[in-house]
Amino acid sequence: MTDSPAEWDASGVEDLGGGIYRIPLPLPSDALRAVNVYAICEGEDVVLIDGGWALSESQRQLEKSFSEIGLSLSQIRRVLVTHVHRDHYTQAVSLREQFGCHVALGSGERANLFELLAAFSEQRMPRQFEALRRAGAGRLMAQLRNVPANDSEQWQVPDEWLEADARLHLGSRTLRVISTPGHTAGHVVFHDESANLLFAGDHVLPHITPSIGFQPSLVPFPLRDYLASLRLVAALPDARLLPAHGMVTDSVHKRVSALLAHHEARLEASLAVVRAGAPTAYEVAEILRWTRRERDFAELDPFNQLLAVSETLAHLDVLVLQERLRTVRTDEGVDHFGLPPARR
């Protein structure tokens, strides 16, 4: 969700040593402020981790940052993209069109990308709308139907689908592809074990909790997947955290523990709200507080309300998996959550 502190987005290029640079690029909405791409230099060649959002001001900023380091965009050989969200993927496609670089994306993003190639909004994301119906969020669905369509040409297939555990050799450096579903179904992170670096995309963010399962192709339990992916990363040796939004920090493990604790607290809070009598994900979302600033649901814009409702539904679904709640679907397709019958 929104609200990150610090000036990480306005500080320009950050030299991380070893020929690696963090380059913050602008985004059109102020919610996330910026997206970091990482340039990895190996001789004359540059590999980018994530591409940014295809916007002329973003490419201008990338070009300016490259020239500060003494590089040109034509040196980009490969763009390794952590997930299909437009602030990570679309500029990779536009760089490929202009400079012929190679674009790679996790193979778990296939279903998402094919939905994105098809159409837009309710047609383009019918399953998101199904989930909103299930959440009892009719009013929000009506608002989201008015969001204008555009830009289908920014969605193209990558040159390569990355498989989990693949090892990518970039000159002297080896990155391991680690599949981390949750934020999206095909999210991957890139682990440079010998340099102790984790290019974490949106899986582990230092200031904010990533949205869960906001994607065109729905999966049954995105939060369960996300929590498992957090534990997977916690089982790797600790590394420096190179996130897609926010500052570089020293410890992936420290942040993963905080994220696990956050979701544990959200599960408890969601359970308490259902216990107090709110039956649908939408009504639970209205009662919970949102973002680091503890905002009221009504203060969020429709897009952030969509994320909030989807995330609440994901938490309630995990509580059902844990047999701490049960659910009944109404004739209108709305899931009503309640306590399971007391067990003997």
Q: Which residues bind Zn ion (CB under 5 A)?
A: 85, 202
Shortest gap between Cβ of 212 and Zn ion (angstroms)? 11
Per the DSSP assignment, residues forming a β-bridge with 190 are 177, 199
Nearer to Zn ion, 85 or 191 (CB): 85
Shortest gap between Cβ of 328 and Zn ion (angstroms)? 33
Shortest gap between Cβ of 109 and Zn ion (angstroms)? 11
Shortest Cβ contact with Zn ion: which residue?
85
Six token digits for residue 43:
């001789």
Nearer to Zn ion, 82 or 156 (CB): 82
Which burial class, exposed, middle or buried, applies to 97 when counting CB atoms under 10 A from its CB (0-12, 13-18, 19+)?
exposed
What distance in Å separates the CA atoms of residue 339 and residue 344, rounded to the nearest whole number?
A: 15
Shortest gap between Cβ of 247 and Zn ion (angstroms)? 18
Nearer to Zn ion, 108 or 136 (CB): 108
Q: Name the one residue in this structure whose structure tokens are 């999206």.
A: 184
Q: Name the one residue in this structure whose structure tokens are 């402020």.
A: 33
Within 13 Å of residue 333, how many CA atoms lie on the same side as its CB? 9
Shortest gap between Cβ of 86 and Zn ion (angstroms)? 9
Nearer to Zn ion, 136 or 246 (CB): 246
Q: CA angle at residue 220 from 219 to 224, to 5 degrees?
A: 100
What distance in Å separates the CA atoms of residue 134 and residue 270, rounded to the nearest whole number?
A: 16
Nearer to Zn ion, 198 or 271 (CB): 198
Distances in Å between the Cα of 182 and the Cα atoms of 144, 222, 232 are 23, 5, 12
